[in-house]
Amino acid sequence: MTNNKVLGHWVEEVAALTRPDQVRWCDGSDGEYREFIDLMLETGDLRELNQETHPNCYLHRSDPSDVARVEHLTFVCTKNQEDAGPNNHWMEPADAHALIDGLFEGCMKGRTMYVIPYCMGPIDSPYSRCGVEITDSPYVVANMKIMTRMGKAALERIEREGTFVRGLHSIGELDPERRYIMHFPEELSIKSYGSGYGGNALLGKKCHALRIASYQARQEGWLAEHMLIVGVQSPEGETHYIAAAFPSACGKTNLAMLIPPESHKGWKIWTVGDDIAWMHLREDGRLWAINPEAGYFGVVPGTNADTNRNAYEMITHDTIFTNTATTLDEQPWWENKDDGKHPTWDWQGRPYNDHSGPAAHPNSRFTVSASQNPSYSPEAEAKYGVPISAIVFGGRRAHVAPLVLQSRGWAHGVLVGAGAASETTAAATGKTGVVRRDPMAMKPFCGYNFADYWSHWLSFENKSDKLPEIFHVNWFRKNADGKFLWPGFGENLRVLRWIIDRCEGRVDARHTPIGHIPKPADLDVSGLDIDDDTLEQLLSVNDIEWRIELDEVAGFFKEFGDRVPKRLAEMRLKIEKDLTNRAA
């Protein structure tokens, strides 16, 4: 099936271990996709949704114990534990292989084993990387077809280049007690057992494009980041590209396909990517980004004509839904869909009543091709990607973090990213709403020691004087009554405009110890229901809160011991001193 001996061998080896009834090499064609959809309709893996209102839309209901990433079962298996760092669960590679191979043994009996060659990034981009996922889940194959460039062209590239990341996956018994997501960055391989859920099972996404790729990026001098990429075009026709990192389920997809509000006629937003950015320094000294993915695996609840019209419209056809509710006439339904309809069955297929919690799972998802997005940027297919003007870090913080701040240059920006924190969401199993450190929104995704990762980020500083400006935003700040201070969604464009103006040196700022903050007059809030006092609260820097914050950052850095770059520790200390002196 391939002339690449290493690949051919590996497939044989896996088949000998897992003993499937048949092996199927996937070609990535539309006909093949259709075939798998029909198969899953037959087996009940998929339900057909209302084909009049939602042509080619299907619903998958996960096992109720398998609806999010499982960080406590996700391991980075490097030879030395310190290389994985305190930010990862670690297992010795040989032990990890033995443990998980024990689970894989014979697990595909009675099943078909699918071989999926895929390419992360435009098929002809020198920055793209290929992989092969072996799985026994047709749901995974169908999702990989939407999320990656999968099949024939990818296999040809693998045969040409001779290298690929190996990903072995089985849904196993979907038993949470027999579930592991293991990464072997030194071997460029991934083994995932016991889950069918997105980030655990679609191995091209978080496992390859972030955990393995971040490890490779460090060795090779580039960056693999948990960032959306968006183009902001002004009425004058000038386009700036921004890469922004937010934790899962904090609105990356919404920001990536933002609809300019009524007040912003003539502005246009172009989506390059909504989740992952691979960034390379090019000869012109600028950082260029590609989106390794070809589709969106987005959070469904909250998507409506006001919050994200682009997404709302693009998921009315050719979409796989996972864990949404349904109406009596089999339309997908979710909380805040605001279409006037009511759910009849909840995400588990039980009759819905409002006492049994949300109808759609809070982490229910859509899988859809990027080409269906009305704001899809033609530059998303560009070989070298797009040049990045600004990098934005963000989180979900009810307090402390102002609406926006700009760092004092690259190194301070690295500190801002490294110290970022956010309240946890339903995208991962565990308690939601707890503030935790989430550097660069990479806590669950950095495939090696965070301290080394920060050093890697710092290493770019002297390589170019045309690096992007670095910012931090917080759309989620609340007042004393617990109400959001900022309207968010389309209005976030106002903040992006300030960011671009700062990059272009067109606007002044208020200089504080933690960074540059907009002067209230420079943030356009015309037409918004925001009075001077609210704006002041949004932009305020409370010195005491920030001293506590920086203290927490120091505590967090301590977990990484001597490996933390001195530069970061010194900068942190200096800001703490400046805040103290300011108070004195």
Residues marked active site are found at 250
Stretch that binds ligand SAT, among 35-43, 187-195, 197-205, 565-573 (CB under 6 A): 197-205
Stretch that binds ligand SAT, among 177-185, 198-206, 487-495, 557-565 (CB under 6 A): 198-206
How many CB atoms neighbour CB 481 within 10 A?
Answer: 5
> Going residue by residue from 193 to 232, which x/- string records binding to Mn ion, judged by CB under 5 A?
----------------------------------------
List the structure tokens of 322: 């996972």
Per CB under 5 A, the list member of 274, 275, 452, 469 interacting with Mn ion is 275
Residue 212 binds to ligand SAT (criterion: CB under 6 A): no
Q: Please give the Cα distance from 483 to 397 (Å, whole number).
A: 12
Q: Closest approach of Cβ 255 to Mn ion, in Å?
A: 12
On whether the CB atoms of residues 211 and 448 are closer than 8 A, the answer is: no
How many CB atoms neighbour CB 453 within 10 A?
Answer: 26
Restricting to residues 227-246, name those near Mn ion by CB under 5 A. none
Residue 248 binds to Mn ion (criterion: CB under 5 A): yes
Q: Closest approach of Cβ 247 to ligand SAT, in Å?
A: 8
Residue 334 CA to chain centroid, in angstroms?
Answer: 21
Per CB under 6 A, the list member of 297, 345, 347, 489 interacting with ligand SAT is 297
Q: Closest approach of Cβ 198 to ligand SAT, in Å?
A: 3
Residue 45 binds to Mn ion (criterion: CB under 5 A): no
Q: Please give the Cα distance from 130 to 291 (Å, whole number).
A: 14
Per CB under 6 A, the list member of 185, 198, 204, 292 interacting with ligand SAT is 198
Restricting to residues 397-426, name those near Mn ion by CB under 5 A. none
3-state secondary structure of 89: strand
Q: Closest approach of Cβ 202 to ligand SAT, in Å?
A: 7
Q: Please give the Cα distance from 334 to 59 (Å, whole number).
A: 13
Q: Which is nearer to ligand SAT, 427 or 564 (CB)?
A: 427
Q: Please give the Cα distance from 271 to 539 (Å, whole number).
A: 28
Q: Closest approach of Cβ 66 to ligand SAT, in Å?
A: 11
Residue 71 binds to Mn ion (criterion: CB under 5 A): no
Q: Which is nearer to ligand SAT, 246 or 410 (CB)?
A: 246
Q: Closest approach of Cβ 120 to ligand SAT, in Å?
A: 14
CA distances from 494 to 448, 498, 527, 528 (A): 36, 7, 12, 11
Q: What is the amino acid identity at position 575?
A: I
Restricting to residues 527-556, name those near ligand SAT by CB under 6 A. none
Kind of pairing between the strands at 332-333 and 149-150: unpaired
Number of residues that make up the chain = 584
State the binding partner of 69 from Mn ion, ligand SAT, none, CB within 5 to 8 A by kind: ligand SAT
The torsion defined by the Cα of 464, 466, 469 and 470, in degrees rounded to 10, comes to -20
3-state secondary structure of 39: helix
State the binding partner of 199 from Mn ion, ligand SAT, none, CB within 5 to 8 A by kind: ligand SAT
Stretch that binds Mn ion, among 39-47, 209-217, 268-276, 543-551 (CB under 5 A): 268-276
Q: Please give the Cα distance from 216 to 239 (Å, whole number).
A: 30
Q: Please give the Cα distance from 419 to 411 (Å, whole number).
A: 12
Size of the site for ligand SAT (CB under 6 A): 8
Position with the least CB separation from ligand SAT? 199
- Of 179, 162, 206, 182, give the one whose Cα is nearest residue 62: 179
Q: Which is nearer to Mn ion, 118 or 333 (CB)?
A: 118
Residue 427 binds to ligand SAT (criterion: CB under 6 A): yes
State the binding partner of 297 from ligand SAT, Mn ion, none, CB within 5 to 8 A by kind: ligand SAT
Stretch that binds Mn ion, among 12-20, 128-136, 270-278, 478-486 (CB under 5 A): 270-278
Stretch that binds ligand SAT, among 74-82, 199-207, 259-267, 378-386 (CB under 6 A): 199-207
Residue 248 binds to ligand SAT (criterion: CB under 6 A): yes
10 Å CB burial of residue 179 (0-12, 13-18, 19+) is buried
165's enclosing H/E stretch is: strand 165-170
In the block, residue with structure tokens 């015309």: 526
Residue 205 binds to ligand SAT (criterion: CB under 6 A): yes
Contacts of 280 (CB under 8 A, 6+ apart): 127, 222, 223, 287, 288, 384, 385
State the binding partner of 205 from ligand SAT, Mn ion, none, CB within 5 to 8 A by kind: ligand SAT
Stretch that binds Mn ion, among 179-187, 238-246, 274-282, 518-526 (CB under 5 A): 274-282
Q: Closest approach of Cβ 484 to ligand SAT, in Å?
A: 22
Q: Which is nearer to ligand SAT, 54 or 443 (CB)?
A: 443
Q: Please give the Cα distance from 499 to 504 (Å, whole number).
A: 9
Residue ranges of alpha helices (H) inside 69-110 are 81-84, 93-104
Q: Which is nearer to ligand SAT, 213 or 427 (CB)?
A: 427
Q: Closest approach of Cβ 177 to ligand SAT, in Å?
A: 21
Q: Closest approach of Cβ 275 to Mn ion, in Å?
A: 4
Eight-class DSSP state of 208: I
Residue 199 binds to ligand SAT (criterion: CB under 6 A): yes
Contacts of 470 (CB under 8 A, 6+ apart): 390, 391, 392, 393, 406, 407, 409, 410, 412, 413, 414, 416, 417
State the binding partner of 427 from ligand SAT, Mn ion, none, CB within 5 to 8 A by kind: ligand SAT
List the structure tokens of 114: 């699918």
Q: Give the count of alpha carbons within 13 A of 55, CB side only.
A: 1
Q: Please give the Cα distance from 274 to 210 (Å, whole number).
A: 14
Residues at the site binding ligand SAT, with contacts judged by CB under 6 A: 69, 198-199, 205-206, 248, 297, 427
Residues at the site binding Mn ion, with contacts judged by CB under 5 A: 248, 275
